[in-house]
Amino acid sequence: GAVVSQHPSWVICKSGTSVKIECRSLDFQATTMFWYRQFPKQSLMLMATSNEGSKATYEQGVEKDKFLINHASLTLSTLTVTSAHPEDSSFYICSVKGGWETQYFGPGTRLLVL
Amino acid sequence: GQNIDQPTEMTATEGAIVQINCTYQTSGFNGLFWYQQHAGEAPTFLSYNVLDGLEEKGRFSSFLSRSKGYSYLLLKELQMKDSASYLCAALDSNYQLIWGAGTKLIIKP
pLDDT band at residue A111 under the 50/70/90 scheme: very high
Whole-number average pLDDT of chain A = 92
How many whole angstroms separate alpha carbon A20 and alpha carbon A34? 15
* pLDDT digit string, tens, across residues A62-92: 999 999 999 988 899 999 999 999 999 999 9
Instruction: Judge: B97–A100 Cβ closer than 8 Å, yes or no.
Output: no
Residues of chain A with C-beta less than 8 angstroms from the C-beta of B87: 43-44
Question: CA end-to-end span of chain A, whole Å?
Answer: 36
* pLDDT digit string, tens, across residues A11-46: 999 999 999 999 999 988 888 999 999 998 788 899
A23-27, A46-50, B95-99, B103-107: least confidently modelled range = B95-99
User: Which amino acid, residue B63?
Assistant: F
Q: Which residues contact B45 (CB under 8 A, 6 or more apart)?
A: A1, A102, A103, A104, B33, B35
Q: β-strands A32-38, A90-97: how paired?
A: antiparallel
Test the B interface: residue of A3, A4, A24, A44 with most B CBs within 10 Å:
A44
Edge-first strand listing for the sheet containing B18-25: B3-5, B18-25, B70-75, B60-65, B53-57
How many whole angstroms separate alpha carbon A102 and alpha carbon B10? 26
* pLDDT digit string, tens, across residues B33-85: 999 999 988 899 999 999 999 999 999 999 999 999 999 999 999 999 999 99
Q: Using a CB–CB cutoff of 8 Å, tell me whether B100 touches chain A.
A: yes
Q: How many CA atoms lie within 13 A of B41 on its CB side?
A: 13
Cα dihedral A108/B57/B89/B32 (nearest 10): 140
* pLDDT value at B1 more than 80: no
Q: What is the pLDDT at residue A29?
A: 87
Instruction: Judge: B101–A43 Cβ closer than 8 Å, yes or no.
Output: yes
Residues of chain A with C-beta less than 8 angstroms from the C-beta of B101: 42-43
Whole-number average pLDDT of chain B = 95
Q: Is the CB of residue B98 less than 8 Å from the CB of residue B24?
A: yes
